[in-house]
Amino acid sequence: MADDPTSRRSTAARERPPVLGVTLAVLAGVGAATQSRVNGTLADRIGSGFEAAVISFGSGLLVLTLALALWPGARAALRRVVRGLRGEPGAGHGLGGVAPRLRWWECVGGAAGGFFVATQGLTVGTLGVAVFIVAIVAGQSVSSLVVDRLGLGPGGVRLITVGRALGPVLTVAAVAVSVSGSLSAPGALGLALLPLLAGAGSSWQQAVNGRVRAVASDAPGGAAPGVCAATFLNFLVGTAVLAVALVISLLVQGPPRGTLPSEPWLYAGGVLGIAFIAISAAIVHRIGVLLLGLGMIAGQVVGALLLDVVTPGVDPPGPATYIGAVLTLVAVAAPALLHRRPAP
């Protein structure tokens, strides 16, 4: 049988390294690092990490609610999500032209974001930022492999290859090197289990957000409204979780002692969150949870490095930080360049 040129082109496209998708993931990671700096500064000024997180998520939810009010396509995409939850026909094209059914747990990915912020407030003071980051990266890197292998993301099952297994190992090593100068030995290292679980939860969040986006998108040309609907649902759930956490913290610790700052840029965390969550939901079905997670980790490391360089009053990064940043980029490049999908 003669070779089909169209089939050859399709095979070549599947085997091509997903450079654009990984680049967008890195940019999303830079946005996440910037959001962390903004929300961290806001929390210091207010005196409450939970209140700062609610302001961040809540402002993003307001922006997305306004977008839904003005964008009929996004409202229609959200209705498809509701129909998908009910198992009604016409929920969305999904994968392979089949209208999929959404399960309730696939729509609560935003809870993982709320858990991440709550974990940060509960453990960073004891563990230190360095141990917290290593635990987050370890959980996210390893769980990304598992999530891809189980096919929880919208791209289906992605087999574990040498390059894909090498990426998480190099990433954990790179972050450990970058923070080696500030590692301490706190007496409650058992608390590191919480950020480890938070990192694992972020991979699951990316996977289920991608599934919601797949159901919400009406057609290949209708991906943008689907991304908006999936991001809105993520912020809605995350804001609700954080609001509960804030109420509990107020009951236990009392009201915060700080005041709301006047600088507008300190309230940009919600918009930044919309950007990187939307990018994640849009590209996870193309590059998989593993490459998305590794790309965002690289972006966070490089973004944090650049922020430390340009921010006044911050100690300049040491050699270990630069070495760790380079190793992180190598860790992302390994699975990206060795990326191959199994033949049918």
Neighbours of 60 (CB within 10 A): 27
Contact indicator for 227, 281 with CB cutoff of 8 Å: yes
pLDDT digits (tens, 9 = 90+) for 97-134: 444 578 888 888 889 887 877 776 667 656 665 566 66
Measure Cα distances from 88 to 73, 150, 225 in Å: 19, 26, 20
Confidence of residue 259 (pLDDT cuts 50, 70, 90): confident
pLDDT at 94: 45
pLDDT digits (tens, 9 = 90+) for 21-69: 888 998 998 888 888 778 878 888 888 888 888 998 899 999 999 999 9
Confidence of residue 147 (pLDDT cuts 50, 70, 90): confident
pLDDT digits (tens, 9 = 90+) for 169-188: 777 777 677 666 555 555 55
Measure Cα distances from 20 to 37, 267, 281 in Å: 26, 30, 15
Residue range 324-342: mean pLDDT, rounded: 65
Give every CB contact of residue 190 below 8 A, 6+ residues apart in sequence.
Answer: none
Tokens of 42: 């806001």
pLDDT digits (tens, 9 = 90+) for 288-307: 777 787 788 778 777 877 87
Share of the chain above pLDDT 90, in %: 10
pLDDT at 222: 62
Contact indicator for 92, 99 with CB cutoff of 8 Å: yes
Whether 202 shows a pLDDT value over 80: the answer reads yes
The span from the CA of 210 to the CA of 281, in Å, is 5
Whether 326 shows a pLDDT value over 60: the answer reads yes
Nearest to 149 by CA among 167, 164, 131: 164
pLDDT at 319: 78
Measure Cα distances from 155 to 89, 99, 164, 262, 339 in Å: 22, 15, 15, 44, 14
Residue range 202-217: mean pLDDT, rounded: 83
Q: Comparing 252 with 340, which gets the higher pLDDT?
A: 252
pLDDT at 122: 67
Q: How much is the pTM?
A: 0.75
Q: Comparing 126 with 242, which gets the higher pLDDT?
A: 242
Element (H, E) at 161: none
Residue range 144-168: mean pLDDT, rounded: 67
pLDDT at 321: 67
123-127, 138-142, 212-216: segment of lowest average pLDDT: 123-127
Neighbours of 119 (CB within 10 A): 22
Whether 214 shows a pLDDT value over 90: the answer reads no
Instruction: Annotate 58-105 with DSSP letters as a single string.
Output: HHHHHHHHHHHHH-HHHHHHHHHHHHHHHT-TTS---STT------GG
CA angle, 97 then 103 then 105, to 5°: 130
Whether 81 shows a pLDDT value over 70: the answer reads yes
CA angle, 148 then 80 then 20, to 5°: 40
Share of the chain above pLDDT 70, in %: 70
The span from the CA of 174 to the CA of 170, in Å, is 6
